[in-house]
Structure 1
């Protein structure tokens, strides 16, 4: 749940210095210890 949690925290303003504005493309990626990769690319 790392990627959805990070997106939620950024959208709610819980991470200092990070924000998402309309029209931007965002990309979040997470690599786990077992090389499990989770990623999302989204246009706001």
Structure 2
């Protein structure tokens, strides 16, 4: 699942719930300015 860049915080959290990736969630909380692609790479 690829998330579009520029999601707001609420949408990002929803996307994280859908993907179910805890490390992705933690990384997003630390670097919300990063792109969704970077988050996905970190998650995998």
Give the strand-richer structure, 1 or 2. Answer: 1
Name the one with the larger helix percent: 2
Structure with bigger gyration radius: 1
Calculate the TM-score normalised by the size of structure 2: 0.26
TM-score, L = length of structure 1: 0.26
